[in-house]
Amino acid sequence: MSFVIPPPPQSAVGVLGGGEFPVRRIFCIGRNYADHVKEMGGDPKSDPPVFFTKPADAVVATGSVIPFPQSTSNFHYEAELVIALKASGRDLKTRHEAGALIFGHACGCDLTRRDLQAAAKRAGAPWDAAKAFDFSAPVGLIARIEDFPADLFDDARLSLAVNGIEKQNAPLRSMIWTVPEIIIALSGLFTLKAGDLIFTGTPEGVGPLSRGDRVEVSIGPLPPLEFAIEEE
């Protein structure tokens, strides 16, 4: 094939124990923990979860220092469990079918320009500028499901600290839609593919980040995710 400009490099996330997981697409679910829906002014009973995406090259490896993004004065963290898919699926119906797509799990952070999201919500406009910007998807090392089976997460808690001070801490079981339910729902909208990542939503406690902040996300036994915001 003769490309007329150099093709972009393949985005990837490291895997615990070695190797790189090639990232195809990044799907995200919003409004998936009741207390976070409430803190954002919504009603968890009447507001169904929403799906949005980020570009594959928004991923950031653990240990990175990222720039403070452009065009925001309210840059927020959202700690999330991330699912990595190893197979295709469309119109899935059962938990078993959904589970068969999972390559592994990782800690993630859905970075958000909250002021742009609030403006988009008011205008009934798309969320891309709020969610799909460069460096907006830090992801820790992916733990393979053979080594970290899904039932390890039944009683796990998700937590996030900024500069060592805990800001979010909630059980994964307080998700409104479970991981298999999210995969089933997404497979009714898109043909899921190997290489897709799914961010599964954040609990209450979201808040702003400043230049120089250090962020740590941990979920049960998964390798933690750590990143920092550039000083200037």
Closer residue to Mn ion (CB): 149 or 208: 208
Closer residue to Mn ion (CB): 8 or 41: 41
Distance CA 134, CA 54 (A): 9
For position 168 contacting Mn ion by CB under 5 A, the verdict is: no
Encoded one letter per residue, x for contact with Mn ion by CB under 5 A and - for no contact, window 181-210 reads ---------------------x--------
Residues in region 25-54 near Mn ion by CB under 5 A: none
- The stretches of the chain forming alpha helices (DSSP H) are 34-39, 95-99, 114-123, 128-131, 179-187
Residue 131 C-beta: closest distance to Mn ion, Å: 8
Distance CA 59, CA 11 (A): 7
Encoded one letter per residue, x for contact with Mn ion by CB under 5 A and - for no contact, window 87-126 reads -----------------------x----------------
Closer residue to Mn ion (CB): 78 or 216: 78
Distance CA 113, CA 137 (A): 12
Closer residue to Mn ion (CB): 81 or 184: 81
∠68-158-92 over CA atoms, to 5°?
100
Distance CA 114, CA 117 (A): 5
Q: Which residues bind Mn ion (CB under 5 A)?
A: 78, 110, 202
